[in-house]
Structure 1
Amino acid sequence: MANIACSQKIENQPAVTQTIPQQEFEPTVYQLIDFFNKNDFEGINQYIHKDIGLFIINSQGVSPSIKSQLKIEISAAANITYISG
């Protein structure tokens, strides 16, 4: 079983924990990898919760920073991937 959890409360909502069977989790991960390799950010964005977003944890020093992003997009002109919130 794969356990996907958010241990932090979001906008005064209870913490969210979801357990899904391994046979459902692995194909989803491979699908996301395939979307990323093809620069298909619309495909990736369908997996991001519309209200909560995607949490990115970055730890470059003593304390990590946490950001909630609502979508991932690409700039075709600059060929740069943006994560926007």
Structure 2
Amino acid sequence: MAVPKSKKLLQFTLDDGTGTDRTILSGIHAYYEPEELIGKTLIAIVNLPPRKMMGIDSCGMLLSAVSNYKDSEDEELHLLMVDNHIPAGAKLY
């Protein structure tokens, strides 16, 4: 969902496989609408200390890639997503 009073932040409630939901905020609203990401399996870094943004603790970071096409000065951000068959909390190597 969009974070109230913020033009950039989206708030995610993620299943990280621990049995407790995890809240992560990410400044990607210019690239994604919240509805586009419901049910997607995203890659997140979860061993970071919480960071308060707009009064909300963000307990992790979503991984993304940024691309810049040859004929454009605009960058595009792409969240890293994996197949939905991979269970929540799976380790990456």
State TM-score, norm by structure 1. 0.28
Question: Quick check: which has more Rg, 1 or 2?
Answer: 1
Q: Which has the higher contact order (CA 8 A, sep 6+)?
A: 2
